[in-house]
Each structure stands twice: as C-alpha cells, then as structure tokens.
Chains A and B, each alone.
Chain A
Amino acid sequence: MQVTSSVREPLITGGKTLKDVTHDISRQVEGKPSMGWLLGLLVAVGALGLGFIALWLTLWEGIGMWGLNKTVGWAWDITNFVWWVGIGHAGTLISAVLLLFRQKWRMAINRAAEAMTIFAVICAAMFPIIHMGRPWLGAYWALPLPNTFGSLWVNFNSPLLWDVFAISTYFAVSLVFWYIGLIPDFATIRDRATGIRKSVYGALAFGWDGAAKTWSRYESVALILAGLATPLVLSVHTIVSFDFATSVIPGWHTTIFPPYFVAGAIFSGFAMVLTLMIVTRKVFKLEDYITIGHIELMNIVIIITGSIVGIAYITEFFIAWYSGVAAEQYAFMNRMFGPYWWAYWSMMTCNVISPQLFWFKKIRTSIVLTFILSLVVNIGMWFERFVIIVTSLHRDYLPSSWAMFYPTIYDVGVYLFTFGLFFTCFLLFAKFFPVVNMAEIKSIIKSTSEKVNK
C-alpha cells in the first residue's frame, strides 16, 4: 500500500475507477470525431495548404524569396527553428525528468506533451533543411558519407553538424520513448475493438500481453530511457546554443548561452503544453485527469524558468558592459534602443514581466488567464530568438554593410506551413491515439484518486 499524504490534492478527481479510465480515454479513439475537432482539422489543413504554396515557391525559386540579405543571412527561418526545438523540450522534461523525480502528476500530460515534442522537432528540423536551398542535396550533405559522394567528410568541428546529430538523436529517442509508452494503451483499445480497428490497433500494440515479466522489463526500459533522455534534452538545446555561442559575433559569443537556452526552451515548451492541454481537456472532457492542480504546477515551472530567463537577459547585459568590449556593449545597446527596439521590449514584456503574474494564486489557477499568458510566453520566446539572431547580425563589422531584415510573405508562409503541420499532426494524434497514458493513470488511481483520499 502506498503511503499518501492527506494534505495533497488528489491527482485524479471525479471518483474514477479503473474501468472509467479505460472508458474515458478510449471513447475519444472509438467515437465519431466531434465538430470542434473537425473544425480544428479544417483550419490546420488550411494553414498547411496555404503554407505549402509559400514553401513550394521558396523551393522552386530559391531562398531569395525570403527577406534575407548579404548581411542578415539567418533570420526568420532560424528563429523558427530554435523556437520549435525549444517547444519540443517540455515533452521530454515532463516525461523523463519528472519520471526520475517521481512526480506523479506528469502521468496525465506526458503522452500529449511527448507527441507535441515529436511534432515540434519535425517542424524545427524543416527550417535548416529548407535553408540549405537544395534540400534534396542538403539532406545527405549533412551525413558523414564518404568523399566519393561529391563532398569531403562532414566537419566534426562545426556546431552545425553537432546539431544534426543532436536533433536527429533527440527525435529518434523521443519517438521510441513515446511509442513504448503507447504499446500497452494500444493493447487496451485492441481488446475493446472488433473488425478492422482490432487488426490496426493489434498491429500497433505489437502483441502486448500484459504479463508481469513484460511489465517489469517495460518499467526498466522506461526508467533507463528517462535517464538517457534527461541529459539528451539538456544537450540538444545546449548544442543549439553552440550554433551561436561558438561564433565570434557580438551578442552571440557568450558562455551563458547553454543554460540560458535550456531554461528558455523549458519555459516556452511548458507554455505550449499549457496552450494545447487547456484546449484538449476541454474538447475531450478530460477535466478529471488534467486538473487545475496540473495547470498550477505547470505555471509554477513557468515562473521558475521565466525568472531564470529574465536573470539571463540581465546578466548578458551586465557582462557586455563589464567585459569592456565596445562591440559587445554596442550590440546590447542596439538591441534595446536600436531599430529593433520593439522586438526587444516585446521580448522583455512577454518573457520577464508576464510570467511574474503567476505569483498570484488567482491568476495561476485561472484557466482563461493561463491560456492567455501561455500564448504571450510563446510570442515572447519567438521574439527572444528573433532579437538574438537579427540584432546581432544586422549591424555587421563594417558600417557600410549594415542592413535591416524585413520578412517577406514567403517567410511568413513557411512558418504558417509548420503551424499547419504541427496542428494537423497533433489533432490526428488526439483523435486516433489515446491522449492520456491509461496504464500509468491506472497505477496511481488507488493512491491518489479522490475516492480513496476522501
């Protein structure tokens, strides 16, 4: 018998039994899609289609369709890349780090958060590949293939190549972690279904039998995967930050980047999890599983990581002054008061000030305000990457090459394409896959459901 504290709020409300859990989660998969879901899918596929026109024209005509110029060679696309990768981090943090810390509240949200990770990483990976100009060649230029393929070996001294390895490993390991967790739940759906659905979910369930021996191995695998995914997730955004930190561009060349980027990634990732979860719990009626308590805990993570990010901004500014390097000092003054001042102050407002509102319990337990603030944080984190990338580049070493970056409709269109892709994938996941990990929820129903505690 697990010992539970009577002071702790139950994680699952509504007096659910094991059978209720199976029913509540499987019914989404088995029933007809709701109007809300269909409408959402229509919007997502619409965005995907519209964005595809921009993507197609970019590929057909070349990168010249974007607003990039000789001075600002990285801008909108790399901003999107870092933004999407950052969002992905929350899924692994919830499923792996919170597993290692035995945080049981992760169980209601880890499945959907991991799905979000996978889709976000797919969206992220598209940008560097499109940016190569000829993605059909670029895709293999990044691989360590022999010189006879037309180029030399890839350069293992380059953080851009480290990124190729980091992102692909991250994607592959997250996918496996996610799928292993899905197998027992697919088996549940298989055993409830008949006909074609039974064979489809039967294949997806990989012949799961629920034996104690299999469960024991499964738990072992989950624990080791969590142990592997934890340093992995930290390494991924560390390496993404190396793309900037190892170059000699004022504003990029700082040692604070790895922890600062990782904190920012978790910050934006949790905001995206909240955005998605608040909608998902409403549409799929999961209020008993994803409770206000869950939302509050995620908001607390947002306060912490948001404060770390805020301190990082101030530290960067201080170090630029303290270093005595004129170029660094100029880069930061230019961020604040230069032509992109509006981007800097949007970032500061959204990322540093807005999450501090969560110190008020009324705000962090309010669904509407949490939803709004989660969007604000997502916007702020996009601006953070834009500010770092564009303000550092647009003032080149030679004042004669100073330039501005303005996005074209194609920049925006390709971003729209990834939004369409992300939400199409997420909606399909939410309909055809069990959105909450039933097996894990069942394992805590006895110790932390309302029925037992009250």
Chain B
Amino acid sequence: MERDKNFILGVYDDEDLLLEAITKVRKSGVKIHEVYSPFPVHGIDDVLGYKRSRLPIAAFLFGMLGTILALVMQFYMMKIDWPMIIGGKDYAAFPAFIPVTFELTVLLAAFGMVGVFMVSSNLKPWGQPRIFDVRITDDKHVMAIDLATNASIGENNIAEVLKVSGATEVNKKSFE
C-alpha cells in the first residue's frame, strides 16, 4: 500500500479527551500521521512528541540582519558617502541612529519569521490543503492515521484503538 494516501480518522469532540487519546493511541503502537484542530490545543506538541518550533531562532537571526543592515546603511550614508555636519554633531552620530536601527531590526525579524513560517507550513494564497474533514475548522478534532505506515497493525485494530481512546466517530479517507 502506498504511503500518505489512505487514512483512518478518529473524530474527537473535546480537547482534553483528545490529549488523553493521543497518549493512549501512541502507547498502543499506532503511529499518528497528524492531528487537526479548530484551535490551538495547549500541550498537544508534548503528547505528540513534537519538538519546539525553531521559529524564534529564525526571528533572532533576521533581527540581527536588520540591525546590521540598518547600521551599515546609516554609517555609509552619513559618514562615508556624503559627510555633513548636522547640528554640530559627529558625522556618525551613533545615538541618533538607534531609532532607525531598532525599527529595521523589528521589521526584518517580523517579516523574516513570518516568511519562514509561511514556507515551512506551506501557506500560500494558491495553496490547496488536504482537508480530512471540513469540521476541523468548526468544532471537531481529527486524528489522522496513515494505513500504510501502520500496515502491520491492521485497519480493524486501529479503528478499535481509536474507539477505545474516546473517538466519537471513526471514518476512512483516501486522497488521489
């Protein structure tokens, strides 16, 4: 069987029940493809075993880039390219450069991080998401289990595990 095509879905109504269910399902040896929710469920990364996002690091690096670019730009323009005495200050009046440096740091950190987020989460205006169940943007949590990766366990056993874990419905979904 091909991977990433045929799924069995457990539908859950409640976020606390979902967290318990994830732990139970993982303990039983079934590998979870992904869980889909209408809102951010706190603590779901831990029970799914996801690592902390590295986006803050991306934000920091882009912020540093902004700081450096802003300082280089201001020193070049004010001190090197066309030095002028303004208000009796040094050509490179460092304290006066801080506001613009701060703003460009924030601008690049924010845009850089959001850009990385968009790319890593595959968010784009022409993006066509695979929708496992339309209710996941309304009121249901859906746990998707790839039949191919769990071939050794068998479909009926997986369905049983999901039911026992508290799923209100167990459905099948296939993608082309």
Q: Which residue of B lies closest to A444 (CB)?
A: B39
Instruction: Decide if A379 is an interface residue (CB 8 Å cutoff).
Output: no
> Does B35 touch A at the CB level, under 8 Å?
yes
CB <8 Å contact, B137 and A210: yes
How many angstroms from the CA of A156 to the CA of B138 in the assembled complex?
50
Within the complex, what minimum Cβ distance (angstroms) separates B142 from chain A?
9
Contact A157 B100 (CB under 8 A): no
A251 at the binding interface (Cβ < 8 Å): no
Query: Counting CB contacts under 8 A, is A235 at the interface?
Result: yes
Give the segment of A15-23, A53-61, A363-371 that binds chain B.
Answer: A15-23
**Given A153-B81, A156-B77, A206-B118: A216 and B45 interface contact (C-beta under 8 Å):** yes
Residue A349 at the B interface, CB < 8 A? no
Cβ–Cβ < 8 Å partners of B48 in chain A: 212
Asked if A22 contacts B103 (CB within 8 A), the reply is no
* B123:A206 contact, CB within 8 angstroms: yes
Stretch at the interface among B1-9, B89-97, B147-155, B159-167: B89-97
CB-based nearest A residue for B32: A212
Interface residues of A in 1-47 (CB under 8 A from B): 1-2, 17-19, 22
A215, B38: Cα distance in complex, Å: 9
User: Which of A211, A213, A235, A440 has the most chain B CB atoms closer than 10 A to its own CB?
Assistant: A211
Contact with A along B58-83 (1 / 0, CB 8 A): 01000000000000011001100110
Contact between chains at B41 and A183 (CB < 8 Å)? no
Taking CB atoms, residues of chain A closer than 8 Å to B107 are 169, 172-173
Contact A219–B118 (Cβ < 8 Å): no
User: Which residue of the partner chain, among B84, B87, B134, contacts A191 with CB atoms under 8 Å?
Assistant: B134
In the assembled complex, which residues on chain A have CB atoms less than 8 Å from the CB atom of B111? 172-173, 176
Q: Are B59 and A442 in contact (CB under 8 A)?
A: no
| A394 sits at the interface (CB 8 A) | no
Is A161's beta carbon under 8 Å from chain B? yes
Q: B131–A209 contact, CB under 8 A? A: yes
- Interface status of B11 (Cβ within 8 A of chain A): no
B residues in contact with A157, CB < 8 Å: 78, 86-87, 89, 93, 96
> What are the residues of chain B within 8 A of A438 when measuring CB–CB?
38
Known: A157-B87, A165-B103, A188-B137. A214 touches B121 (CB 8 A): yes
Task: Please state if A443 and B77 are interface contacts (CB–CB under 8 Å).
Answer: no
Q: Would B50 and A212 count as touching, CB distance under 8 A?
A: yes
Q: Which residues of the other chain, A, contact B89 by a CB distance below 8 angstroms?
A: 157
Which segment of A65-73, A81-89, A220-228, A260-268 sits at the interface?
A: A220-228
**In the complex the two chains form, is B40's CB within 8 Å of A219's CB?**
yes
Report if A218-B117 is in contact (Cβ < 8 Å); known contacts: A144-B77, A176-B111: yes
Report which residue of A155, A176, A220, A439 has the largest number of chain B beta carbons within 10 angstroms of its beta carbon. Answer: A220
| A166 touches B (CB below 8 Å) | yes
Closest to B76 in A: A153
Contact with B along A159-179 (1 / 0, CB 8 A): 101100110010011001100
The answer to whether A156 touches B96 (Cβ under 8 A) is: yes
B 116-127 to A, binary, CB cutoff 8 A, 1 in contact else 0:
011011111111
**Cβ distance A342 to chain B, nearest Cβ, rounded Å:** 35
Beta-carbon contact of B37 and A220 below 8 Å: no
A228 & B59 in contact (Cβ 8 Å cutoff): yes
- A202 vs B35: C-alpha distance when bound (angstroms): 21
Known: A165-B103, A210-B38. A1 touches B53 (CB 8 A): no
Q: Does the CB pair B106–A19 fall under 8 Å?
A: no
Q: Is A239 an interface residue (CB 8 A)?
A: yes
A232 contacts across to B, CB distance below 8 A: 103, 106
Contact A209 B129 (CB under 8 A): yes
30 contacting pairs across A/B (C-beta < 8 A): A1-B16, A2-B42, A17-B139, A18-B38, A153-B81, A156-B78, A157-B78, A157-B87, A169-B103, A173-B111, A187-B137, A188-B137, A207-B125, A209-B131, A210-B137, A212-B36, A214-B121, A215-B37, A215-B41, A217-B117, A217-B121, A218-B40, A224-B56, A224-B109, A225-B113, A229-B110, A235-B102, A440-B39, A443-B41, A443-B42
Show the binding face of B for A, using Cβ within 8 Å: 14-16, 34-42, 44-45, 48, 50, 52-53, 55-56, 59, 73-74, 77-78, 81-82, 84, 86-87, 89, 93, 96-97, 99-100, 102-104, 106-107, 109-111, 113-114, 117-118, 120-131, 134, 136-139
13 new A-B contacts, CB < 8 A, other than A206-B125, A213-B34, are: A144-B77, A153-B77, A153-B81, A166-B99, A169-B107, A172-B107, A173-B110, A184-B137, A191-B137, A191-B138, A207-B129, A439-B38, A439-B39
Q: Which 10 pairs show the lowest CB-CB distances between chains A and B?
A: A207-B127, A18-B139, A209-B129, A162-B99, A220-B53, A206-B123, A443-B39, A442-B39, A153-B77, A188-B137
